[in-house]
Every structure is written in structure tokens, then in C-alpha cells.
Chains A and B, each alone.
Chain A
Amino acid sequence: MTLGMFKLTSSVLLALPMGFLFQTAGPGRLKISSQPPNATITINGKTLTQVTNTTLVVAPGNYSVVITGGPGNLNCTRKVQVSTGQTTTVNCP
């Protein structure tokens, strides 16, 4: 049984790198602008440290972008889709 444990351990260690054999899709870009700038950005419910205007590197997928506050006291919500290698722009207002 102990020998089996060693074999299973070594199989796990040998097999882990095999997961890297497969490459996933590359990222896209999300350009977020506001007028006036320096507004807070919240993406999919998570507030970022970055403020407008900025360009983010993101994984492909659907995003809910909320731009709030800043000198203009903005409040915009946009739903966008980002594809691999593409730049998607979000403007507020």
C-alpha cells in the first residue's frame, strides 16, 4: 500500500506539467474613458485601483463596467463583450 502511495504521488507530480500542454485564448483590451476623467471603475462588482481614463488587459468574456464619482460625479453602467486580441471601448457619459 505504501509503494502504491509512492506511485500515486509520483504520478501526480509527473502529470501536473501536462496541464500546460494546452494553451488558452489570449486576452483582449478594455479602454475605459470618461469626461471628466479620474472616475472610479468597478468591473463585475470589483472596484479597481485604476481610474479613468485607462486601458485594461482582460480575459475574453462579458463584463459589467460601472463608472462612478470623480470630478463630474458620474454614474454610468455599461455591459460589454471583450474578444481575444480586440480592444473594446467604454465611454461615459
Chain B
Amino acid sequence: MANEARPLTAGLSAEKLGARPAKVRVAAMMNNPTAARILFYVACFLVAVTVWWTERRVQAAPQVYGELITDLGSSQESQLSAFLEMNRLIITLSTTTLGAMGFFLSRGRKGGFLPRELWAASACALCVGLSLFYGYHAYQDIIFMLQNNTFDLSTALIAWDRHWHFAMFVLGTFFFVDFAFNELNRKEAPPANDPGNV
């Protein structure tokens, strides 16, 4: 056991060996326009494949969409109307939030934004974007149900999308309020030599 050969690098961290930490490598990649562009397309492709794979998995699972109907009853028509009203309202508010965020960012600020603020802006854009995605998905589910002569808003097919549509909007609003609160309360620009500024 005592004579067992140990590698010379045993016990040394990657940094001590001269290897750059992952964070530094990613930052270096981001500063390279070509690498950043490739990373952008790779990320797009990976997200698209993930969405497609998840869609297939969810829709291929045995599930009951609802009872076969010939026409919508008055109660179902009211449900559909209420759903569409709420769907439109959240989509309108989400789009407005994105626009307001764009306005704050495009207006710029003397001294630039702090990374923390930009992270809040990114999180807001991501959540609101996801909310719009789930809203569109819920709309697609309604079309699917009506095309197949069924209508049931309580089924798993649409319940998931409806809840995430609202939850993502609320989360996006939270990040927007966080960003806007900092933006509106910050009277003075930070010092120009502040390394945290972007």
C-alpha cells in the first residue's frame, strides 16, 4: 500500500497547476466575438432540442384530454371566454413589462449599470419570455382540444401551462420591480473607476 504510485500532481489544485478556472475560460470565450456567436447558436439549438424532446415526452404519455363533445355548452363557453380574457391580460402585461425593461435599458445611464442590475434585467426578460411561451402554449392546447372535439380546462394538458403562464409572469414582475426600484432610486452615477460597472 505504501509503495503505491501516486501521480506527481496529486494534492495540487487546478489553479496551482496553471489551468484557468472555468469562470475565467467562459469569460474569455465571451470576449471572443466568434466564440460568443457560436455559443449563441449552440445554446439556441440545445434549447430547441430540449423543448422538442420535452414536448414529445409530455404529449406521448398516456393521458385523457377530455370527454368527446359535439358543441360547447354555455358553461364551457363561459370558461373559454374567462380563460381567453386572462390569457390576453397576462400577455399584454408581460409585453408591457418587456417594453418597460427595454426602455430603461436603452435609455442608458451615466456610469453604466451594475452587474447586479443587469442580472435582474436578464432574469426579468427570461421569466417574462417564458410566461409568453406558456401563454402561447396554453392557446395551442385550446386549439388542439377544440380541433379534437373536447374541452376541459382542468386536464393536465392545459393546467400546467396555465399555472406556469401566471407564475412566470409574477416572477418576471418581481425581477422587474427589483431592477426598476434600483434604477429609480439611484440618484448619482457610480464612480467611473468602479470595476463593478459594465
Contacts and interface: CB of A to CB of B under 8 A. Distances in A.
A25 B29 CA distance: 41
Given A12-B43, A57-B68, A58-B65, A22 B118 contact: no
A63 B66 contact: no
B125 interface: yes
A5 B118 contact: yes
Interface string B29-58: 110000010011101111110111011100
B140 A20 contact: yes
Given A19-B52, A56-B68, A61-B62, A3 B44 contact: no
A11 B62 contact: no
Interface string B49-77: 01110111001111111111000000000
B36 A15 contact: no
B40 A11 contact: yes
Nearest to B151: A57
Contact of B59 (A11, A21, A59): A59
B95 interface: no
Contacts of B66: 56-57
A37 interface: no
A46 B29 CA distance: 50
Most B CB within 10 A of own CB, among A2, A3, A5, A6: A2
A24 B51 CA distance: 13
Interface residues of B, number: 46
A4 B47 contact: no
A17 interface: yes
Interface in A3-43: 3-22, 24-27, 29-30, 43
**9 shortest interchain CB distances as A-B pairs:** A19-B51, A61-B62, A18-B48, A15-B47, A4-B30, A13-B129, A55-B68, A11-B43, A57-B150
Interface of B: 26-27, 29-30, 36, 39-41, 43-48, 50-52, 54-56, 59-68, 115, 118-119, 122, 125-126, 129-130, 133, 136, 140, 145, 148-150, 198
Given A59-B62, A62-B62, 16 more contacts: A3-B36, A4-B26, A4-B30, A4-B36, A5-B122, A6-B118, A15-B46, A16-B47, A16-B129, A16-B130, A17-B136, A22-B56, A56-B64, A57-B145, A58-B62, A61-B61
Interface of A: 1-22, 24-27, 29-30, 43-44, 46, 48, 50, 54-63, 82
